[in-house]
Amino acid sequence: MNKKQAFNPYLPSWEYVPDGEPYVFNGRVYVYGSHDVFNGWVFCQGDYVCWSAPVDDLGDWRYEGVIYPRNADPMNKDGRMCLYAPDVTVGPDGRYYLYYVLDKINVMSVAVCDEPAGKYEFYGYVHYPDGTRLGEREGDEPQFDPGVLTEGDRTYMYSGFCGVGDKSRTGSRVCTLDKDMLTVITGPETVVPGSEYSEGTGYEGHAFFEASSIRKVGEKYYFIYSSQVMHELCYAVSDSPLGGFTYGGVLISNTDLHIDSYKPADLPMAMGANNHGSIVEINGEWHIFYHRHTNGSWFSRQGCAEKLTLGPDGSFEQAMMTSCGLNGGPLEGRGEYPAYLACNLFTEKHSLYVGEEGAPMITQDGRDGDEEVGYITKVTDGATAGFKFFDCRDVKKISVYTRAYIHGKFQVRTEYEGPVLAEIEVDASNIWEKHTADISLPDGIYAFYLTFRGTGNGQLKSFELE
């Protein structure tokens, strides 16, 4: 079988599915998430869609279509509320249950389907035995970002949102649901603290913010969540799904903060913001799914994934952001690669969060839904795009495709702050034009950092290795 190469982001560049919850069902990886739009003005403006790929070909993603429109909920018939990040679990009856929260109410909704990516139908609201909906009883905290895990006749549902400074929210809280998938039989109980309640817990500096997710690894339960700094996904481990979680560490940051293998640990290599995702085992290897931000905003996010290393003690190492993600190794060091695959994108300021004025960003032409390949815009002096990794054999030339008012050169490095190995002269053009320079590379696996030096404000479509 001729497999396709897998990239980051793993879906087409015109698709915006953040908050990814990955699962393997019947030999395919399914990813459930919220649905942003290109150039969106708020989070999660689209209907729920699903994508899937064969476990043995993670570059071959298939669009499964809309699985649940936002106006399917009885409280949202006019569609004025957004569908926030969902999660899916297989119930005791073998059906697939989709848990979600609308953006203006405090209760947890549930939809159901007979197959992983069919048409889900509204099922009900999570409630107490007396019929009171969870989130509406005195003392309840608002429901947000569900994480669900079913074992036997019991489903464990985690939920919560804790902004820094808000003492009214305690952390992520767990309930046990009965086999009807709706009725609360234990809880809610706080299992991972928010920042206002983290002192002395081991979660200091990495306390719970949002994005509850739960997985079982061996005989232990791993709780995955977005921490108070937003750009990182962390994990905690327990022998029980109902409590006793101890902080484990960072799984991924969409800025590569803390990674010190190729740059200083405290140096961000992309402009981050919120993060949400989870882990999944595919063919015996663990992966972390997360998202990145495009278009210089918080509201057009794209799903990415990296391989994780699980230690014999049950700990995960923090994964580095790459362009090759689910590929199982480096990309082929030959041919043309689109610029939207940049896993590092920064200026000389190295801003930690999205919002730096005039910073380079990934964008696209057209409107949301147009199948226009993404590229990097706002390329000005000092802007750097980093791509990793590529298995290079007999590479002699490197090219960039640029357009817009730009004059200068791209300096090519294979290490951050490494020597300049080539300089590609570029000039203004109203169409995409190819510019080439010679490069001498011994055979090996490389990253590529392209730094623009010059005047103007340009756009980078792609680079090519020959």
Q: How far is CA 137 from CA 20, 128, 182, 188, in A?
A: 30, 9, 15, 11
Strand, coil or helix: 93: coil
Longest dimension (CA), the chain: 74
Q: Is 93 exposed, middle or buried (0-12, 13-18, 19+ CB in 10 A)?
A: exposed
Do residues 444 and 392 touch, judged by C-beta distance below 8 A?
Answer: yes
The rounded distance, in Å, linking the Cα atoms of 278 and 224 is 6
Tokens representing residue 6 in the block: 């897998």
Check if 136 is active-site. Answer: no
The rounded distance, in Å, linking the Cα atoms of 177 and 154 is 6
Tokens representing residue 305 in the block: 């994934």
The amino acid occupying position 433 is E
Do residues 58 and 6 touch, judged by C-beta distance below 8 A?
Answer: yes
Q: Which of 15, 19, 145, 196 is catalytic?
A: 19
Check if 210 is active-site. Answer: yes
Tokens representing residue 343 in the block: 């896993």
Q: Which of 73, 196, 210, 306 is catalytic?
A: 210
Residues written for the chain: 466
End-to-end CA, the chain: 25
CA angle 388, 391, 394 (to 5 degrees): 125
**In sequence order, what E strands does 311-405 have?**
331-332, 335-338, 344-346, 361-363, 375-379, 384-392, 397-404
The rounded distance, in Å, linking the Cα atoms of 239 and 223 is 11
Looking at the annotation, which residues are catalytic? Answer: 19, 210
